[in-house]
Amino acid sequence: MKILVCISNVPDTTTKIKFTDKQTRFDPTGVQWIINPWDELALSRSVDLKEDSSNPVSEITVINVGTSETEPTLRKCLAIGADKAIRIDSEPKDAFFTAQQIANYVQKESFEFVVFGIESGDYNGSSVGGMVAEILGVPSVSSVSDIKFNGSSATIERDVDGGKEYMQVQGTTVIVVQKGFAKEPRIPNMRGIMMARQKPLEVLAAIDSELLTEIIEFNLPEPKAKVKMIDPDNLQELVALLSKEAKVL
Amino acid sequence: MNFELNEEQQMIRQAARDYAQRELIKDVIERDEKAIYPAEHIKKLSELGFLGMLVDPKYDGGGMDTVSYVLAIEEFSKVDSSIGVIISVNNSLVCYGIESFGTEEQKQKWLKPLARGEKIGAFLLSEPGAGSDATSQKTTAIDMGDYYLVNGVKNWITNGNSASTYIVIVQTHKEKGHKGINALLVDKYSPGITVGVHENKMGMRSSDTHSIQFTDVKVPKENRLGDDGFGFKFAMKTLEGGRIGIASQALGLASGAFELATKYAKERKAFGTEIINHQAIAFKLADMATEIEAARLLCLKAAWLKDKGLPFGNASAMAKLYAADTAMKVTTEAVQIHGGYGYVKEYHVERMMRDAKLTQIYEGTSEIQKIVISRAIANDDL
Is residue A89 a part of any domain in this protein? yes
B50: left (phi over 0), alpha (psi -120 to 50) or beta: alpha
Domain map (residue ranges) of chain B:
7-115, 121-231, 239-378
pLDDT of B71 > 90? The answer is yes
Does residue A233 lie in a domain region?
no
User: Between A93 and A4, where is the model more confident?
Assistant: A4
Select from A207, A23, A188, A196 the least CA-distant residue to A107. Answer: A207
Q: What gap in Å lies between CA B230 and CA B101, rounded to an integer?
A: 10
A184/B22 touch (CB, cutoff 8 Å), yes or no = yes
Structural domains in chain A (count):
1
B62 CB near a chain A CB, below 8 Å? yes
**How confident is the model over A179-206, as a mean pLDDT?**
94
Tell me, yes or no, whether A235 lies in a domain: no
Higher pLDDT pick, A223 / B11: B11
Give residue A93's domain range.
Answer: 2-221
Q: What is the mean pLDDT of residues A81-107?
A: 96
Q: Is A79's CB within 8 Å of B11's CB? A: yes
Q: Which pLDDT belongs to residue A143?
A: 93
pLDDT at B131 over 90: no
**Sign of the torsion angle spanned by Cα atoms B305, B115, B181, B366:** positive
pLDDT at A43 over 80: yes
Percent of chain B whose predicted confidence (pLDDT) is above 90: 93
Contact at CB, B11 and A185, closer than 8 angstroms: no
CATH pick for B239-378 out of 3.40.50.150, 3.40.50.720, 3.30.750.24, 1.20.140.10: 1.20.140.10
Fold for B121-231, please state it.
Answer: Butyryl-CoA Dehydrogenase, subunit A; domain 2 (2.40.110)
The pLDDT, as a whole number, for residue A121 is 86
Domain B7-115 fold? Butyryl-Coa Dehydrogenase, subunit A; domain 1 (1.10.540)
Q: Which of B23, B74, B350, B363 is catalytic?
A: B363
Chain B nearest C-alpha distance from A59 (Å): 22
Does the distance separating the beta carbons of B18 and A185 come in below 8 Å?
A: yes
Torsion angle in degrees (nearest 10) through CA of A82, B53, B79, A179: 10
Q: Say if residue A225's pLDDT is above 80.
A: no
The CATH number covering residue A119 comes to 3.40.50.620
Which of B6, B7, B269 should we substitute to test contact with A (largest number of A Cβ atoms within 10 Å)? B7
**Residue A76: its chain B contacts at CB < 8 A?**
11, 14
* Contact criterion met (CB below 8 Å) for A149 and A55: yes
Q: Does B220 touch chain A (CB under 8 A)?
A: no
3-state SS string for chain A: CEEEEECCEEECCCCCCCEECCCCEECCCCCCEEECHHHHHHHHHHHHHHHCCCCCCCEEEEEEEECHHHHHHHHHHHHHCCCEEEEEECCCCCHHHHHHHHHHHHHHCCCCEEEEECCCCCCCCCCHHHHHHHHHCCCEEEEEEEEEEECCEEEEEEEECCEEEEEEECCCEEEEECHHHCCCCCCCCHHHHHHHCCCCEEEEECCCCCCCCCCCCCCCCCCCCCCCCCCCCCHHHHHHHHHHHCCCC
pLDDT at A128: 95
Q: Model pTM?
A: 0.91
Catalytic-residue membership of B363: yes
Closest CA to B29 of B70, B79, B63, B78: B79
pLDDT for A213 equals 87
Establish if A227 belongs to a structural domain: no
